[in-house]
Structure 1
Amino acid sequence: MKIKLTLFSFFLFISSLIAQDKNGNITGKIVDSQSKEGIGFSTVLVKDNGKIVASVATKEDGSFTFSNLINKVLLLEVNFIGYKKYSQEIDLSNTNSSNVGTISIDRDSKEIEGVTVVKERSTIEQKADRKVVNVGKDLIASGTTASEIFNNIPTVSIDPQTKELSLRGNSNVRVLIDGKPTNIDATQLLQQIPSASIKQVELITNPSAKYNPEGNSGIINIILHKNTKGGFNGSITSGVTFGVTPKTNQSLNLNYKVGKVNFYTNYGFNHGKNRNFGFVDSERVGYENFQDFRFSNINTSHLLKVGADYYINDNNTLSFFTNWNFFDGKGKSRTISDYLTLSDAIQDNWNNSGNTTQTYDLAFKHNFQKKGETIDFQINHSKTNNEDLSNFLNNGNYSLNDINGKSTYSQFNIDYVNPISESVKLELGYETRLQAGKNTFNDFQPSETTVNKFDFNRNIHALYANYSKSFGKFSAQVGARAEVYNLYAHPRKESTDTSLNSDVSITDEIFTVYPSAYLSYKPNDNNTFNVNYTRRVDRPSNGQINPIREWRTVNMESRGNPALNPQFTNSFELNYTRITKIGSITSAVFYRFIQDEISRVTFTDPNDTNFYIMSFANFKDNQSMGAEINANLKLTKWWSTNASADIYFKTVRGTVSNLDTGLMENAEVDVTTFNTRLNNTFTATKNLKFNLFGMYRGRDLSLQFARKAMYKMDLGANYSVLQGKGTISARLNDVFNMMHFAFEGNIPYRSAGEFHWESRTFYLGFNYNFGGGKNRELQRKQRDKQETQGGGGMF
């Protein structure tokens, strides 16, 4: 008993000595030496003979506190990205507490340049479920709008005539802006977004169950710049493109961070005149003709984004932003049809079109006490107004077409993430999407007035769950998304000739489950394999189901089909990423099985055998496959390159006219398409860099014609000025003026043609970054890496 009592007294004595030797406290505050604003989430370390004994991240106002430190001379060290390292000795040997007061740290101009200045060269990152293209100055200088630079991004293509977007050779792709849907048609949207406003482009070819399953080929998410640095700062970009006529683009990014609130705005402006021309030579027996086309358009667009983030505390953030898009287009065209045996025809068209879209987004995020456990609430609402007024003069006969369209889109999301353990994570969510639209088409003719109306409502309610787990060198994720889809469509036709009036309604309700599965194997740091599967859907777009005319020429018009059904796709994909000393190489193969495929159809107008109508229809099941490879390499200190190549195999189905029988027949054709791109950056000096870009788009087939191969080469240069804050960019696009659309075909009759646009252009632009301060996103990343505070030990 005495021995136990003696041992107990001894340990109690030792503990009291340790406690007395570990009661030191240090408090203080870290501020910017210029603005005197507190630097939140900076790293403060306490070292003893070079060994870290404690570390904390400063609070929002820059303050920090250490407790239970050894009573001796210690070293206090402050680190934060964009600032010079600070250190000082603190003597706690004769005192239990030390208030170091306010510590001012200086900015590091070299590090700040790395944070604030747009990268010279675009880079591509291969992640588990997506490719991320970081847009650099070389891409910005390659075009004034998103539509122009997208042809320089691997696996993405823009049709030069229709401006239709496709991913991996498939046009059924969903476009998001900052992860949010938009009412604007992708074709028009990409022509409105200034290239300088784009920060990243995410290519999500096989999205998980968390994402909307729409889009056969996947999702393209365009991330706009959102300035998050402290204080007042921003950037401005101004450029002019010289072609047949000059065009201008301007972009302004502003940010003001004060206290817990971050305000930001982004404005983009594009204005210019475009001239295009082309011809089609048709050899239809009895209707042989040569059509000559001339187009001239003046387009003006504005894109405005305004938002604010309110950091309530470390665990709660409230965000709001609004996007406004304004587009105004004025154009004129002339089509001359020179017939061999019939009377010639001349059609003149004057067109005035406008589009306005408003988007409002409110989001709240809460971080639970457990690291990584979060819940997000989001409400998004947008409304769009379209108008297209066209005047036609056809061989002296005048007509006027007026198309008006209004639509609204509302979305509500709840997303919950729970890291059950270090190796297991659960994601749950709910989403509601409500879409409504009204379209009116008035056809004013000298003898008759026809009014076509089309109203529709589309509502979707969804639940999803994802479960992911890591085990050794493997990681896996399985998920499912259940959706209820409701459609109501109401096309009506009213005419002064009452015998032409019609009124029908179309309703549909579909319940579907969309599974997804991912498996990743990483044998070492240099090699990663991914295999995944998803089920997706392509619900007919507004344009595909809208029976109101989209466009019209002398002998053809395009309209939608309200009776279209959704098409479903089962998609399989295998990816491999290899990290080398000089960069990364990624490759992928994919296979898609498509049910009830939606495809184009062309048929003869029952009221005019010399006039054709282009629309859409569902066909039988189809399949496609392909492979792609991308290399992002730094070959030497002065030469870096991004090279990509892809090949696609698919079957195209549709209907064509049999001129012998006068009937429509189903047809199909097997297609193989090859594309390649090569983007080089050469560093001449610290401030001067040159760019060399080349692309080849292989021959492609459709039911009616074969599109010939297209290729071009661009030359560019970037020169940094004003200590790296400014950049002058110059680029000559399509040096040899070889980029044009050419085709030839035999169905339903022999035809050939070409279309040309202002492909060879010269771009001159200037970008300037101003202001300074700390970057909030970097703060959060650094804060997340902080270890919890620990006390010093005896050793």
Structure 2
Amino acid sequence: MKLKFLVVCLLTCIGNVMAQGQMNVSGNPGSVSGKIIDKATKEPVGYASVSIKEGEKVITGAISQENGNFEIKNLELKAYTLEVQFIGYKTFSKAVTLSAGDKSVNVGAIAIEAEATQLEGVEVVAERSNIVQKIDRKVVNVGKDLVASGTTASEILNNVPTVSIDPQTKELSLRGNSNVRVLIDGKPSNVDPAQLLQQIPSSSIKQIELITNPSAKYNPEGMSGIINIILHKNSNNGFNGSINTGVTFGITPKTNSALNLNYKVGKVNFYTNYGFNHGINANHGFVNSSNPGLDNLQNFEFRNLNNSHLVKFGVDYYINERNTLSAYTNQNTTHSDGFGKTAIDYFGLPNNDHLQTYRNENENKNQTYDVVYKHDFEKKGKTLEFQVNYSKTKNSEDTGYNNEDRESDGDLYKESVSRNVVNGLTNYTQVNLDFTNPLTEKTKLELGAETRIQSTKNKFLATESGTQFADPYDYGSDSDYNFKFDRNISAVYANFGTEWSSKWSSQIGLRVEYYDISGDFARNETKFKSDETPTTTVENLKDKVTDNIFTVYPSAFVTYTINEKNSFNFNYSRRVDRPSIGQISPIREWTTPLMESRGNPALVPQFTNSFEVNYTRVTKLGSITSGVFYRSISDEISRVVYNDPNDASNNRKILSFDNFDNNNAYGVETSANLKFTKWWAVNASADAYFKTVRGAVQNVASGELENASVDVTSFNTRLNNTFTATKNLRFQLFGMYRGRDLSLQFERKEMYKMDLGATYNILKGKGTITARYNDVFKNMRFAFDGNIPYRQYGAFYWESQTFYVGLNYNFGGGKNRALQRKQRDANETQGGGGMF
């Protein structure tokens, strides 16, 4: 019924829009056309709002195309005012007169000026973020308001439409699904996304691209699409730079700083970016479990000191007007020292109370090197690009546990000390060749080839010793886990795009991939039993995983432009979610006294057919984009929970993964960029998702695994207001609501918050001071309640209520020449999809 309801709503919307489009055709002979460009860079400005006014009344309008062109038809022959508005730019006005002798007026190139242009050679960060809807993605241009909303990329993304970050696990999800691929400057990373987003300072981010249904030229991994995080990079003449620094005050202070520099002379441009994060994250929570006979209350405390350094250095060499050679490196180091405490209080005399404390040290080092050669042929738009990318990641964890079991009267029952050491090494190489050829003015062919080679090694060592007090048959173990995982992917793709008419355009594509994996998982375990006659048993456990898959991934995009104000986009693609290393590795990911998370080597890939319909409406206030999506999923990968076979009490659980039957998911979303008055502008979004969550849970009575499913409806909304008080002073009011969500075992309660902020320009526009008060009413927390396999409820709390104060300062004397700007200079991925 929900799907039928969505279809009816969409058809009704289409009917209304078609009727409006027909009514707008008045037969008037006048028209106005032109092109919008940036005054400083001379680059086209797409999606700018162009209005035709008579006095103060708006008669009609349009939105500029991605190449900056616009045309407004059906105008009466009279005098008008042409007005151009775009977020982050000054409003442009021009008088236009249509007459019998001049019915069609081309105003030529209209150069609009950024709101802050005192330093022409420095990349200016806008006061507030804006969202641009393009044919295959949403682009979030990060302003100072988002930078002030958090110290890391993880906190910024939590304020971006359709994106959510789990407050506890930091797991990223897009459109309600965690199967999303994260790229940095269009390139993959060996670092786990949850960890990676904690390492990138918010002030280092320039743009965030949300690619929910990528075409065939993109890597097909990630059911819900791709999130590409673009870091700052300047390519202006001379020496230029900017510095962003801020402090977040919560329970403990945290720093977030970034320095951006570039030096361009002649044909060479050097650029660098340095980001630094430092601070303590503290959180706590509880879980109340009504496990029959083992009823207990668990209290948790966690405290982690994190230090992160991110360095990017690159050089562009403009050999001549047709050839460019570029290279860069990212160096990322993160060190974390943590402390945690879990106290389990069992209700009832027969049971024991348990206290576990731990201290750990984690270190992650990631190095990425990238080289690109690009050749522009004489034919406009015809290009050849060759890229080689290599990255190496080393990570280590050293955790010491202290466990105490006590009787209900407080007497010590058992005490043990254990230590876990995990070391990992991943090497990744990617080679791409991409060719683009505009066959005619209305057709374009894209061809590409790609090879990806990944090798991962992990080793897990665990030691445990116990002191027996009451139980003479206590078990301990010395374990040694090793695993090696190799993955090779070779692919070719082709895309063909054409414009049928002024209203219709399309693109079809096909990607062919050969996927080869090999995994060796070895476990050597020594078990011993301490009694009057000790015995020792040695087990050697080995698992091997191999797979060879030849797969095709088609895609199709169709755009229908009814008129200047209304357009539709229909698209389809096939995608895959290959099991990650963490999902197939039998080495534990994390552990508590009652739960351990580990992978399943038997997992197979999950395939998804994804369909979308998007509608964009341009009004005199701005643009509104709405969409409906549907996913058909095969061999869905989901979580399972079962008893630890090595736990005789059946109280300890294993959290893992498994493949399930086919599934469906669908949803609706809408976002808007609106400017109600000269002093009030709004970014708003809302989305609703409908899906069936499947998995396996263990029957508490029988101990057997049983398949289970639950229908989920989730609703989220965000509203970001910007109020311009004076030329230099602006205020922000941000609110968000994340609705309740369901899993197989519990219901996650809703979350909501409100933030207040202000920005003030200083030093004649060279600097900006920003202040922000996050979660004013301290509403944010992760609360849940469930009844499977038995009643459990609880909540986790973190430093959600914080105060941020930051400074942004731009410096340098260089100016931007009219030198052709390569897409790589902007670090954008559009047009270079094969680079993935």
Pick from 279, 297, 301: which aligns with 2:304? 297
Instruction: Give per-residue Cα distances to partners, 1:594-615, cap 9 Å, x unaligned.
Output: 0000000010011211110000
CA apart distance, 1:525: 1.9
CA apart distance, 1:550: 0.6
Q: Distance in 1 between matches of 2:822 and 2:327?
A: 22
Could you tell me whether the CA contact under 8 Å between 1:705 and 1:744 is conserved in 2?
yes
CA apart distance, 1:436: 0.5
Matched, 1:657 2:703: no
Matched, 1:460 2:489: yes
Instruction: Give per-residue Cα distances to partners, 1:356-399, cap 9 Å, x unaligned.
Output: 00000000000001000000000000010011111111112100
Letter in 2 for 1:700: D
Task: For 1:81-96, list aligned pairs within 5 A.
Answer: none
Matched, 1:773 2:773: no
Could you tell me whether the CA contact under 8 Å between 2:290 and 2:790 is conserved in 1?
yes
Q: Distance in 1 between matches of 2:694 and 2:564?
A: 44
Pick from 423, 432, 444: which aligns with 2:451? 432
Matched, 1:147 2:154: yes
Pick from 709, 713, 731: which aligns with 2:772? 731
Query: Which residue is 2:714 aligned to?
Result: 673
Query: Which residue is 1:477 aligned to?
Result: 507
Pick from 415, 433, 442: which aligns with 1:414? 433
Residues 205 and 41 from structure 1, CA distance in 2 versus in 1: closer, same or farther, beyond 3 angstroms? closer
CA apart distance, 1:109: 8.5
CA apart distance, 1:580: 1.2
Q: Distance in 2 between matches of 1:122 and 1:113?
A: 20
SS in 1 for 2:652: strand
TM-score, length of structure 2 as denominator length: 0.80
Could you tell me whether the CA contact under 8 Å between 2:772 and 2:804 is conserved in 1?
yes
Task: For 1:669-708, list aligned pairs within 5 A.
Answer: 669-708=710-749
Could you tell me whether the CA contact under 8 Å between 1:639 and 1:683 is conserved in 2?
yes
Could you tell me whether the CA contact under 8 Å between 1:117 and 1:725 is conserved in 2?
no
Pick from 616, 638, 644: which aligns with 1:605? 644
Letter in 1 for 2:555: S
Could you tell me whether the CA contact under 8 Å between 1:41 and 1:780 is conserved in 2?
no
Could you tell me whether the CA contact under 8 Å between 1:256 and 1:263 is conserved in 2?
yes
Matched, 1:346 2:376: no
Letter in 2 for 1:732: Y
Instruction: Give per-residue Cα distances to partners, 1:159-216, cap 9 Å, x unaligned.
Output: 0000000000000000000100110100000000111110000000000000000000
Q: Distance in 1 between matches of 2:521 and 2:298?
A: 34
Could you tell me whether the CA contact under 8 Å between 2:116 and 2:765 is conserved in 1?
no
Task: For 1:272-421, list aligned pairs within 5 A.
Answer: 272-341=279-348, 342-395=351-404, 396-421=415-440
CA apart distance, 1:527: 1.4
SS in 2 for 1:435: strand
Letter in 2 for 1:327: T
Could you tell me whether the CA contact under 8 Å between 2:121 and 2:815 is conserved in 1?
no
Query: Which residue is 1:175 aligned to?
Result: 182
Could you tell me whether the CA contact under 8 Å between 2:121 and 2:816 is conserved in 1?
no
Matched, 1:207 2:214: yes
Pick from 176, 195, 198: which aligns with 1:191? 198
Q: Distance in 2 between matches of 1:469 and 1:146?
A: 37
Q: Distance in 2 between matches of 1:201 and 1:109?
A: 22
Pick from 538, 542, 553: which aligns with 1:503? 542
Aligned-residue Cα RMSD (Å) equals 1.9
Matched, 1:582 2:621: yes
Could you tell me whether the CA contact under 8 Å between 1:41 and 1:779 is conserved in 2?
no
Q: Distance in 2 between matches of 1:675 and 1:109?
A: 34
Q: Distance in 1 between matches of 2:460 and 2:124?
A: 48
SS in 2 for 1:138: helix
Could you tell me whether the CA contact under 8 Å between 1:458 and 1:486 is conserved in 2?
yes
Pick from 237, 243, 246: which aligns with 1:236? 243
Which moved further from structure 2: 160-169 or 447-456? 447-456
CA apart distance, 1:286: 0.3
Matched, 1:525 2:579: no
Q: Distance in 2 between matches of 1:40 and 1:514?
A: 38
Task: For 1:751-766, list aligned pairs within 5 A.
Answer: 751-766=792-807
SS in 1 for 2:292: coil
Q: Distance in 2 between matches of 1:779 and 1:690?
A: 37
Residues 758 and 41 from structure 1, CA distance in 2 versus in 1: closer, same or farther, beyond 3 angstroms? closer
SS in 1 for 2:131: strand
TM-score, length of structure 1 as denominator length: 0.84
Q: Distance in 2 between matches of 1:42 and 1:430?
A: 30
Instruction: Give per-residue Cα distances to partners, 1:210-229, cap 9 Å, x unaligned.
Output: 00000000000001001111
SS in 2 for 1:723: helix
Residues 255 and 426 from structure 1, CA distance in 2 versus in 1: closer, same or farther, beyond 3 angstroms? same
Q: Distance in 2 between matches of 1:154 and 1:41?
A: 30
CA apart distance, 1:496: 3.3
| Structure 2 segments unaligned to the other structure (5+ residues) | 1-39, 45-88, 90-113, 405-414, 466-475, 528-536, 824-836
Q: Distance in 2 between matches of 1:662 and 1:40?
A: 67
Matched, 1:492 2:501: no
CA apart distance, 1:501: 1.2
Matched, 1:252 2:282: no
Q: Distance in 2 between matches of 1:335 and 1:143?
A: 28
Residues 546 and 175 from structure 1, CA distance in 2 versus in 1: closer, same or farther, beyond 3 angstroms? same
Query: Which residue is 2:83 aligned to?
Result: none
Q: Distance in 2 between matches of 1:310 and 1:116?
A: 20
Instruction: Give per-residue Cα distances to partners, 1:127-154, cap 9 Å, x unaligned.
Output: 0000000000000000010001111100
| Structure 1 segments unaligned to the other structure (5+ residues) | 1-38, 44-81, 83-106, 783-795
Instruction: Give per-residue Cα distances to partners, 1:552-573, cap 9 Å, x unaligned.
Output: 0111010111111000000000
Identity %: 64
Residues 746 and 448 from structure 1, CA distance in 2 versus in 1: closer, same or farther, beyond 3 angstroms? closer
Letter in 1 for 2:449: Y
CA apart distance, 1:42: 11
Query: Which residue is 2:574 aligned to?
Result: 535
Q: Which has the larger radius of gyration?
A: 1
Q: Distance in 2 between matches of 1:115 and 1:259?
A: 18
Instruction: Give per-residue Cα distances to partners, 1:294-341, cap 9 Å, x unaligned.
Output: 111100001110000000000000000000110000010111101002
Query: Which residue is 1:135 aligned to?
Result: 142
Query: Which residue is 2:66 aligned to?
Result: none
Letter in 1 for 2:491: A
Letter in 1 for 2:488: N
Residues 714 and 490 from structure 1, CA distance in 2 versus in 1: closer, same or farther, beyond 3 angstroms? same
Pick from 530, 545, 549: which aligns with 2:584? 545
Q: Distance in 2 between matches of 1:149 and 1:479?
A: 33
Pick from 622, 647, 651: which aligns with 2:688? 647
Residues 332 and 454 from structure 1, CA distance in 2 versus in 1: closer, same or farther, beyond 3 angstroms? same
CA apart distance, 1:499: 3.3
Task: For 1:157-168, list aligned pairs within 5 A.
Answer: 157-168=164-175
Letter in 2 for 1:729: T
CA apart distance, 1:779: 4.8
Letter in 1 for 2:718: R
Query: Which residue is 2:57 aligned to?
Result: none
Q: Distance in 1 between matches of 2:116 and 2:806?
A: 25
Could you tell me whether the CA contact under 8 Å between 1:236 and 1:769 is conserved in 2?
yes
Q: Distance in 2 between matches of 1:424 and 1:274?
A: 53
